Chain A
Amino acid sequence: MDVYAARLPILDAAPAVSADPDGELAERFRNGDRAAFDQIVRRHQKGLWYLVRRYVKRDADASDVTQQAFVRAFKGLAAFRGAATVRSWLYRIGINCALSWLRDHRREEPTEIAEDALIEQHAAPAKIMGGEDAARLRAAIIQLPPKQKLVLELRVFDDLSFKEVAELAECTENTAKVNFHYAVKRLREILVGGDDASR
């Protein structure tokens, strides 16, 4: 039943991290305080939704998967021992739910939709960056190797610490830093080289 929580042995194996800002809420929840979970939802639903949205490409699907992830978290939080931060644990559940959703809907969602979504994103008025630049950057990010892409997105778009990135990417903190470096370097090459670099 609780397959997503069960996929997190690494995150759930060591003693508690004292610096987790959600650690107290998790403890209150374990002691039966239902309101503590509502607070966790308010804190993280936005970040989790955007994380999931990068995978599922449709707003409504992102909401469904986000809800599913929180339901899983609700069931597993009593067993969560605080080896990772609540946020990275929650994000891991979100990624697992999104991947599971993609597997289940593989035939319903052809790959072109991802491209459509990309166009739709940069077609929307960007307050900070021109749509064309944003699309170019997104297209470059898509070309990164999966691990580098994951590390870069978690760091840049989700504002996770390298420690949290490492927990989610299932690698050491140093490996996460090195992957981040090569992701940035590769991105620069792709942007400078244009189409040639992408080959």
Chain B
Amino acid sequence: MRRDSERGDVELLSAYVDGVAELSLDERKRVDDLLARDASLRDAERDTRALLGQLRDIPPTGNEPDWSALERSIGDAVGADVPTRSAFGAFWQRVRWRFVVPVVALAMTAAILALVLHDPEPATTTPPIAPVVHVQPPVVEDTTDELTASTPLWLDGTDLEVAIEAAELFDLDWDLDEESLPETAELLPPTDLEWIDDLDGESLERAERYLDGPHHHGRKGPS
């Protein structure tokens, strides 16, 4: 069993026999050493030399043509004009790979970046939509002709049409029984009217005067 390195040297044996000059000095020396210590390899060398000699003695295939006629026919076929390459053609052949490779690499990088960084839903700045508050007027008994369907209130800076007669609220005669209120009443929670509790007496009087007066049907509430 030969070692791998020895097997590599044996594989050079035929090249050694047929063209020792084409082996490097190191390769030549290794094969020489191998031949010096291996008799079977020396036999193989002799056989190889004999076989290559036999192969070279084989007469060439076919009956050779009239070489002058073949040369003339080739001359006629190629014509008289020597094909020349344009200066650009020569330049392009020399540098084409220097261009093609970086351009392709750049294009691929750009494509990958575009895919990675692309936002399928472009960001649009839409103004926040103000919540729409629908307030159903509570069902109350129509006791007074002066009661109107709705009363404007100014709550937290928002102008609301509240369908509750403000005068009744301030009179506090109205019993706010939760059961009697419609379901929609909870859209305007009582806590939103807590500011009324914070009014001082003077403010309340002014409000009452305002509501009793002829202008209480205006849009703006008490300030």
Contacts and interface: CB of A to CB of B under 8 A. Distances in A.
14 contacts: A32-B82, A50-B61, A66-B74, A70-B77, A126-B58, A129-B54, A129-B58, A133-B54, A137-B58, A138-B58, A178-B11, A180-B18, A184-B48, A188-B47
Interface of B: 10-15, 18-19, 22-23, 47-48, 51-52, 54-65, 67, 70-71, 73-75, 77-78, 80-85, 89-90, 93
A41 B75 contact: yes
Interface in A65-85: 66-67, 70-71, 74-75, 78-79
Contacts of A45: 67, 70-71, 74
Interface string A41-67: 110011001100110000100110011
A75 B59 contact: no
A184 B51 contact: yes
B59 A126 contact: yes
A54 B58 CA distance: 13
A184 B52 contact: yes
Contacts of B90: 79
Contacts of A124: 59, 63
A53 B62 contact: yes
Interface size class of A (residues with CB under 8 A): 35 or more
A66 B23 CA distance: 33
Nearest to B14: A181
The 9 closest A-B pairs by CB, nearest first: A177-B15, A181-B14, A74-B78, A128-B57, A126-B59, A129-B57, A184-B14, A53-B62, A178-B11
A181 B13 contact: yes
Most buried by A among B52, B54, B61, B64: B61
Nearest to B65: A63
A3 interface: no
A106 B205 CA distance: 117
A185 interface: yes
Contacts of A134: 57-59
